[in-house]
Structure 1
């Protein structure tokens, strides 16, 4: 589970009621276009976050 604020907001937007299987008020509907868009945004966000961590690690190792 991602603890980053933006990631948590993104994940909360795609949750839906499992017992009834229908859209709740304030949540997006899940069709193939929405799932593809959410996946693309999430992948881009994770890659950007990982790159920042690598860059930060490289900067810290340069001092030692």
Structure 2
């Protein structure tokens, strides 16, 4: 079974070290570029949720093109 954990905060490293010490648990590292992509995707999803809830207003396509 494969499980993905997201641990935030100052205790993340100690939790990771504890997990590594348990027999049968393998810790895989995610390369930085993939981690950045996943973080960006999560932020985009959160913005979409906020927009759907009416809490923020997203830019139009024309506004995005004008920025370039």
Q: Which has the higher contact order (CA 8 A, sep 6+)?
A: 1
Return the index of the structure with the highest Cα Rg.
2
| TM-score, scaled relative to structure 1 | 0.46
Q: As a proportion of its length, which structure holds more helix? A: 1
| TM-score, scaled relative to structure 2 | 0.43
